[in-house]
Structure 1
Amino acid sequence: MTAVTTTTAVPAAQAGEIPQVRRRRRLSPGRRLPAARLIGPLVLLALWAGASAAHTLDTGAVPAPWTVLRTAGRLWSDGTLPTDVLTSLERAGYGFAIGLVAGVLLALAAGLSRTGEALIDGTVQLNRAIPTLGLIPLFILWLGIGETFKVAIIAIVVYIPIYLNTHAALSGIDSRYVELAEVQGLTRLAFVRQIVVPGALPGFFVGLRLGVTGSWLGLVVLEQINATSGLGYLMFQAQNYGQTDVILVGLLIYGVFGLVSDSAVRLIERRVLSWRRTLSS
């Protein structure tokens, strides 16, 4: 038998040329920029300062940034601002801690048990449909006008997004992992530790970020209701006297608190979920 060989003809125009490798298009967002989330606020601050310097803004309605900074320094030096900031942080901290624990425990009970889901999920969905700030008059009648009702409202604002996202993540765990755990003979505790917790963490962190933001949004309203201290009270008093610069000081502090707390949760999320390969990483 004779071997038959086949040859492929190369066009004369391509003879001797080096074949070009087509570059693959990159569809990912690219490398993360350092301190990228500060760029947007800094651009807004620069526009605000430029418009104030060009006298295109009414200083009575929107004071210049340097005026707001001088007001913040004056309030800090006379001791008003530190007291109000600490009071607001204390209220937000207590409400957030209670809401965090309640949201996680309810999500686990509803996500790991059909009985728990029947008892809890519908109730939480009903609570979610009711405007939380609309509960303020009722909570004042139940708990009085002191600190308790403020903390309770913040806890409700926080626990709802944490429960919803954590429960959704638990419900979305692939059933094949559950079957694998049953085949491996894992105990209930080992199943929760090795399957449930890693599967629910992404949704939990989404709810945590929403809960952190919700605690500040609820606080700014609650501190204007029969309060004697806090940033919301400071802003309410400034409204009565037409002090726009003081109101802007309070709003900027709330914004800084929200940005810092959200960035802290994002940092923890990246560390805890470093094993995931996602678009953001």
Structure 2
Amino acid sequence: MNEEGKAILTIEDLRRAFVSCGVSRGQHIIVHASMSRIGFVAGGAEAIVRALLDLIGDEGTLLAPAQTWKNLDPSTGVHGEIPHSWWPIIREHWPAFDPLVTPSVGMGAVAETIRIWPGAKRSGHPARSFAAIGRYASYLTEEHDLRNIFGAGSPLDRLYQLDGYVLLIGVGHEKNTSLHLAETKASFPGKHDVEEHSAMFVDGKRAWVSYHTQAVDDHDFIRLGTEYEQEHAVPIHAVGGAEVRLIRQRPLVDWTVAWMERHRT
């Protein structure tokens, strides 16, 4: 504590706190985090990532969304209220996605730190990529199908195959991308595909590429996440000022599939 009674967290503090949350050696974890909710961390997002990597060790893997959703057609509203006359310019000139260069958009400082970490791997989807560090980083991020952003063979599905974990730090289930994996597995009347467009490299040249993929919908994620936590007595921990949940991904996804099939229209 400082002289004003405000907390400051060190890497050692973070290690102890994450151990109490259940983080341990050999786990494969997708992390979603809000630094502002945690409070002041000596070392910022780097300290969070170092603490988690220290705990999971060489046998573990850390995964995070590294999405670049502004690399979608401007007609979808990803650029806000811009003149329609700008749309053709964006389609012609938006930089092609480069997994080594293109920064993530709105994923937070922890996710971006994982993306640029030495040795990190990143999947090749031009709008919905993921980045990973650790033992299964290559496995999680390779061959990310353009048309199957969150389903079979995606980084989320491969984490499911590894019986991985979801770590929510200062965020709720509205940020829990693993629920989109359940969305691809579930059968419900409103499930449908959409056509999306992104700038990417094709044979070494920039192209504006169209592709069909399942439409995503997170409107009920908070509700279903709350019900899952209540039904399964998910413990809620504290790291600094942030609520923290560590949840096994596979049971969560399986339960969510059944929930969506009961409740979605």
TM-score (structure 1 length as normaliser): 0.21
TM-score (structure 2 length as normaliser): 0.22
Bigger Rg over Cα: 1
Larger helix percent: 1
